[in-house]
Chain A
Amino acid sequence: MKALVWHGKEDIRCEEVPDPRIEEPRDAIIKVTSCAICGSDLHLYNGFVPFMKSGDIMGHECMGEVVEVGPEAKGKLKVGERVVIPFTIICGECEQCRRGNFSVCETTNRNKDLAAKAFGRTTAGLFGYTHLTGGYPGGQAEYLRVPYADRTHIKVPDGLSDEQVLFLSDILPTGWQAAVQCDIQPTDTVAIWGCGPVGQMAIRSAVLLGARQVIAIDRIPERLDMAKAGGAVTINFEEESVVERIEELTKGKGPEKCIDAVGLEAHATATLDSMYDRVKQAMMLESDRAHVLREMMYLCRPAGTLSIPGVYGGLIDKIPFGAVMNKGLTIRTGQTHVNRWTDDLLRRIEQGQIDPTFVITHRVRLEDGPAMYETFRDKKDACVKVVMTP
């Protein structure tokens, strides 16, 4: 089959690889009908995430049709059913899964020891990501083996197109969880750093959950336009001061809730801390650039909440934890517990409350995927979200 294969920094190729097969009784194989490139795939593309191996198949946002089911998944899945595959692989049985903390499933990471060395404890297995999270082949391919498939799926009701439901695999529940983590009240201002796909979903989620005001921060004009269309007041940080503008919009009190939808590759420039991060990262003395975290910690209203769906991989430096402690801020973060939210979100899509297709700007064949990584990374051609069909 064809698949997008990682070979190193900025080196992703569309290649022929062996077809996946059932390896465990709970497995299923799906024929991928749609897949997408996620912002966190760019961290792999840019070489910021350790423990990738040449030959790894990329992709953790995909959906398709079930073509083969292992004996222990047969009660839950049938050949021919359409399913979205969440990026987190879950067993549904461990203590964390029973609590709904699916992204820290204790069972599915097949490199638990490696994860425990890096993070202290294991986290869930993820598709198409680092070997720290199991090194499972991803869904930017013609076929995908789904481990623990009896639990790791979202069934698609008739009448919904691929594009309407594809983002249930990651960015929609990720933006939703980012907003839910804020426990939004009708009086809240929610400031969201980053207007990429997750930021866009977080904006819509914050509006739907009733935030009085949503502020969106980015530097790419068309992304800011899209944020504004979703109901946000926008700040272009290359044209105006984020601090001054947020002070003005919150009458000097700061936002009650702040969301970091940027993560480890913050593009801030011309600030002292961003210069420091760039130099340290280039000298391999720091893995992540934490400008957004610092700005949120500084700007957030006392007793407020910082919600961090943006991906961080390792070590950060010069974090103003005195501000966090003295202002009594709550920090909520984590990979998304996808299946915890998807029933509700699927209902909202069916009811027409939200149409996630608004974010799609590029539709291409899988073979064109490697070039689209660069287009997406460099925001060329006004790219916000790429959907591929094998």
Chain B
Amino acid sequence: MRSETARTRRGHAGTQTATLARGLGVFSIALGLAELLAPRTLTRSLGMEGQERLVQAYGVREIATGVGLLAARDPTPWVWGRVGGDVLDLATLATGLEGDNPRTPHIGIALAAVAGVTALDLYCAKALSGDGSQPRLPLRDYSSRSGFPRHPDAMRGVARDADIPRDFRTPEALRPWT
């Protein structure tokens, strides 16, 4: 007998977790677009001039992850992908703390923000990973629910007597081709 998870239908994350995953997907795309289209603004505000190409590459990564999150039947690997990306972001931001960067306070704020998002990503990834490990329930057997009094083959064409209205009929000119 086939079975399914107790909490969720196969292929469906729990409603709140799924909503969070979709929200993270939209956030990913929005952040990715900002990184791709305005890298200089970002590097300037963080005192990390010269890293524009890297920021744009991260933007492409964010957009790809966002699309994956929104499109995938199972968003779990994409959320874990975001966690990995967060670690990369944190490491990159940490390099901005070296030397005499006048924008260190901005780096601190950015690190705190990314750490917050990382926590959210981790929570979502763990919740999604947990969905698949729940005990399974059996599916019901609907294989005898035909709705017909006899085998479908015996019912084929029983309603050919139906008076199909003229405006619902295929145009005569198309009939030989259908």
Contact = CB atoms under 8 A, between A and B. Distances in A.
Contacts of B177: 302-303, 328
Given A278-B71, A353-B158, A382 B26 contact: no
B157 A209 contact: yes
Contact of B139 (A205, A207, A209, A222): A222
Interface string B3-39: 0000011011001000000100110010000000000
Interface string A210-232: 11000000011111011011110
Contacts of B178: 183, 185, 188, 256-257, 301, 303-305
Interface in A334-380: 340, 344, 348, 352-359, 361, 374, 378-380
Contact of A229 (B70, B142, B169): B142
A223 B4 CA distance: 14
Interface in A290-326: 301-305
A75 interface: no
A173 B30 CA distance: 44
B14 to A, nearest CB: 9
A282 B26 contact: yes
Q: Name the interface size band of chain B.
A: 35 or more
Interface residues of A, number: 67
B98 to A, nearest CB: 37
Given A231-B152, A355-B149, A183 B11 contact: no
A159 to B, nearest CB: 16
A374 B15 contact: yes
A111 B140 CA distance: 43
A302 B176 CA distance: 12
A279 B142 contact: no
B95 interface: no
A10 interface: yes
A374 to B, nearest CB: 7
Contact of A222 (B140, B153, B165): B140
A269 interface: yes
Contacts of A381: 137
A210 B160 contact: yes
Interface in B156-178: 156-160, 162-165, 167-171, 174-175, 177-178
A340 B165 contact: yes
Contacts of B148: 204, 207, 230-231, 353-355
B8 A207 contact: no
A250 interface: no
Contact of A269 (B73, B157, B167, B175): B73
B11 A219 contact: yes
Contact of A210 (B12, B73, B159, B169): B159
A222 B171 CA distance: 38
A17 interface: no
A208 interface: yes
A230 B146 contact: yes
A231 B146 contact: yes
Interface string B131-152: 0000001011111111111001
Most chain B beta carbons < 10 A, residue from A188, A220, A302, A356: A220
Contacts of B143: 225-226, 228-229
Contacts of B9: 220, 378-380
Given A207-B152, A221-B2, A328 B174 contact: yes
Contacts of B145: 226, 229-230, 358-359
B152 A230 contact: yes
B71 A209 contact: no
B4 to A, nearest CB: 8
Given A302-B177, A344-B162, A353 B155 contact: yes
A206 to B, nearest CB: 9
11 contacts: A100-B165, A183-B164, A207-B148, A208-B156, A209-B157, A222-B141, A228-B143, A282-B26, A344-B163, A355-B148, A378-B15
